[in-house]
Structure 1
Amino acid sequence: MIRRPLLAVMACAVLPLGLAACGKKQDNLSATPPMQKLTLMLDYFPNADHAPIYAALARGDFRRAGLDVTIRTPSDPALPLKLVAAGKADLAISYEPELFLARDKNLPVMGVGALVDKPLTSIISLPSAKIAGPADLKGKKVGTAGIPYQSAYLQTILDRAAIPPADVKEVGVGFNLVPSLLSKKVDAVLGGFWNYEGIQLARAKKHPRIIRMENAGVPTYDELVFVATEQTVRKRGELIRRFMQALQAGARAVRADPAAGVDPLVAASKDLDRGLQLAAVKATLPVFFPAKPSQPYGYMDPEEWKAYGTWMQQNKLLKHPPLSSTLTNEFLPGEGGQPSEDSTPGASSTP
């Protein structure tokens, strides 16, 4: 899925928070708590990346958790972070790099759980370009959407492959990445998702070749994360916990039967191609869950976030050192110790 996350200038007060120091907690959803409304703002139009959400909604997992969930689709993909910060939504789906950029602009938001825990952004080419790996980008034209951190991805990949920047031409193609690839305006594009555009091209028998960011020198990151305001984290943490518990049930249902997420997804957005969505969900299944079985559902690795934030600063994408308060794992299923008296839920001394 080609995303268009472009943050406008935003300024709000930020209170210092820290990374989660989580202790195990017994979750109990056997008794339905009093019903509460929760508004979730998607990052983009409904698609395969959201299958666990639609499964949890259709199966009644949210209602059993005492949540009356309303899903909203943004009119502009730049809006979700701003809307959740303004209190227009309880939770929003965004991207780890966008969250770092928002915190750098003092927007008081933080990640509270991962939806997709690996990069989906990729370099996609067709066989005629003869690009089997990063080294083959030398002498090629690479189309990008003009998003600064994706241009930085390309430069990082070229540096690792020891390719002088002058030997690769970056071409701004806006959001016409796939059309530019098919028309051979460019040899490859950086910005399409391996689980969506890659699948779409494969289904069209175009035999795409894909280079994933984390395999080419870019620090790994969580492509899609749930975001809440600091105030919601402080005052409504139990709401987040119940949401993540119910979402875990939906994700497990999708893993057992992808149709559990695809059928309600297509019912909610009838212009979707069911075959494409089903293929995309099957491809995405491994990254709907943490890399290690010992990690709770929705886990965001603080060390990986620190490394990625440092990379952003080194590439002059952030004006300030990345804040350790950008995420908390406090409200994931089975997690949650008592915060100290001088900290917000999820705080620790992690620098």
Structure 2
Amino acid sequence: MSARRFLAAAAAALALTACSTVAEPAAPAEGGLTPVKLQLQWFTQGQFAGYLAAVDQGFYEAQGLDVEILEGGVDIVPQTVLAQGQADYAIAWVPKALASREQGAGITDVAQVFQRSGTYQVSFADAGIAAPADLRGKRVGNWGFGNEFELFAGMTAAGIAPAADVTLVQQQFDMEALLSREIDAAQAMSYNEYAQVLEATNPATGALYQPSDFSVINWEDQGTAMLQDAIWANTERLADPTYQDTTTKFIAASLQGWAYCRDNVESCRDIVVAAGSTLGASHQLWQINEVNKLIWPAPAGAGTIDEAAWARTVGVARTAVNADGQTVITADPDADAYTNTYVEQALELLRAEGVDVEGTSYAPMEVTLNPGGS
């Protein structure tokens, strides 16, 4: 599906509601806990370990919440689920959520969990692709579905016309096309698809591929990175003091879950595996370790929305053009698109409880991948 059709489909889905639907407050759960539904943007995996840990470790319950986590998937647009009142909060990438917001979804970024982008463009080292300019004349894989704009912005900044100077290939959500050399460069997340190539056997050696076998373009290094996983709330419901209070508590428990996963990577690996992830244990350990790098350290406090990073994301979303000639959004989002009000209150709660919300001494662990991520 092209980005044009994907965005059109999202717009059509949102148009069915004309505007956001405000869900009726759920009745208190057993024990007086407030029921909350969280919509993930993808299948159960380490990308969402902090939320799973917050359930497992009782952090939500300690805040008076009974949280049900709704798994995502290929056909699920989390910000639409939120806007239509089928969830109380959703995890979504900022540019995708802004596209939905421009189409009428009443949603607000209330906590920017991933402070950095995890998107790579990966190639074999012998392909000679060390920088975006080296993509000229190459077969360049990308997923589409709104995931491609960092890549397209990076190529454009390097003087490459994406629609003319490269051969664009619709890439599956795996690395098979790269490993078979059907494409020269593949889109990958640092915490998922990049691990897949390192879990594969190099036919020349009989051992697993090593990082030295590949070249990686990190869009954080190129200035075209966009903000990704954030907690989104229903804008209209934020006028309700009860929902405001729930939002603060939900963010606090979620960030406590991420702090737990920062300090207990192996425990969170086990939590994710037990939650039903279909990916292997070493892959999940890698994933949580890499996701931690996107969150920590957080000098301003985990979840705080950095104005400069937000402005860069909006700038790329407004100016980067994909193969269909589309930008993510056509105008700057209004002031209700994000707020630090609730995350700041949540951080105050956590600091009062002695939770380290900055992670200034954070250091990633070394992860050994097994064949196939087992």
Q: TM-score by structure 2 length? A: 0.76
Equivalent residue, structure 1, for 2:368:
none
Q: Confirm or deny: 8 A CA contact 2:6 2:145 kept in the other structure.
A: yes
Q: 1:328 aligns to what?
A: 339
Matched, 1:71 2:64: no
Deviations 1:249-289 (A, max 9, x none): 21121111102321111001153311110012112212224
- Farther off after superposition, 76-85 or 235-244: 76-85
Identical amino acids, percent of aligned pairs: 24
Q: Secondary structure at the match of 1:313?
A: helix
Note if contact 2:265-2:285 (Cα within 8 Å) is conserved in structure 1: yes
What is the aligned counterpart of 2:110 among 112, 129, 132?
A: 112
CA contact (8 A) 2:123 2:178 kept: yes
Matched residues in 2 for 1:189 and 1:241: separation? 39
- Looking at structure 1, the residues matched to 37 and 101 of structure 2 have their Cα atoms a distance apart, in angstroms, of 22
- Work out whether residues 171 and 186 of structure 1, in 8 Å CA contact, stay in contact via their aligned partners in 2: no
Paired with 1:331 and 1:306, the residues of 2 have a C-alpha distance of 20
2:233 matched residue in structure 1 = 228
- The CA distance in 1 between the partners of 2:252 and 2:223, in whole Å, is 34
Amino acid aligned to 1:308: T
Question: Which one of 256, 259, 279 corresponds to residue 249 of structure 1?
Answer: 256
Aligned to 1:258: 265
SS of structure 2 residue aligned to 1:118: coil
Deviations 1:71-117 (A, max 9, x none): 11134454311111111110111111111101211211111112222
Match of 2:218 among 212, 216, 227: 212
| Counterpart selection for 2:329 from 318, 322, 328 | 318
- Are the equivalent residues in 1 in contact too, given 2:150–2:226 (CA < 8 A)? no
Higher relative contact order (CA 8 A, sep 6+): 1
Q: For residue 179 of structure 2, what is the aligned residue in structure 1?
A: 182
Deviations 1:116-150 (A, max 9, x none): 22111221112232222223223211111233561
Residue deviations 1:21-78 (CA, integer Å, cap 9, x gap) = xxxxxxxxxxxx9410111111000111111111111111111111101111134454
Q: Find the partner of 1:305 among 293, 304, 310.
A: 310
Within a 5 Å distance, the mapping from 1:1-351 to structure 2 comes to: 6-7=6-7, 8-9=10-11, 10-11=14-15, 12-13=18-19, 34-147=32-145, 150=148, 152-163=149-160, 165=162, 168-190=165-187, 192-204=188-200, 205-206=208-209, 207=211, 208-218=214-224, 220-235=225-240, 236-289=243-296, 291-292=298-299, 295-315=300-320, 316-334=327-345
* Runs of 4+ residues deviating >6 angstroms: none
State which drifts further: 264-273 or 198-207.
Answer: 198-207
| Cα distance between partner residues in 2 of 1:149 and 1:196 | 14
| Counterparts of 1:270 and 1:221, CA distance in 2 | 27
Worse-superposed segment, 278-287 or 125-134:
125-134
- Would the aligned equivalents of 1:61 and 1:246 in 2 still touch at CA under 8 Å? yes
Q: Following the alignment from structure 1 to structure 2, what is the Cα–Cα distance between the partners of residues 282 and 101?
A: 30
1:20 is aligned to none
Q: CA deviation at 1:167?
A: 7.0
SS of the aligned residue for 1:331 comes to helix
Corresponding pairs, count: 310
SS at match of 1:94: strand
Deviation (angstroms), 1:307: 2.8
> Alignment RMSD, CA only?
2.5
Q: Which residue of 2 aligns with 1:29?
A: none
Superposed displacement of residue 174, structure 1? 4.0
CA distance in 2, matches of 1:161, 1:261: 39
CA contact (8 A) 2:36 2:68 kept: yes
TM-score computed with the length of structure 1 as normaliser: 0.80
Confirm or deny: 8 A CA contact 1:43 1:77 kept in the other structure. no
Q: Normalized per residue, which structure has more helix?
A: 2
What amino acid maps onto 1:194 in structure 2? S
- Retained in 2: the 8 A contact 1:114–1:224? yes
Flag the 1:278–1:335 CA change in 2: closer, same or farther, 3 A: closer
What is aligned with 1:340? none
**Quick one: distance in 1 between partners of 2:128 and 2:115?**
30
Amino acid at match of 1:318: I
Separation (CA, whole Å) in 2 of partners of 1:49 and 1:40: 14
Of the structure 1 ranges 70-79 and 240-249, higher mean CA displacement relative to structure 2 is found in 70-79
- 1:164 Cα deviation after fit: 5.3
Question: What is the rounded CA distance, in whole Å, between the counterparts of 2:304 and 2:226 in structure 1?
Answer: 12
Q: Identify the range of structure 1 (275-284 vs 207-216) with the bigger mean alpha-carbon deviation.
A: 207-216
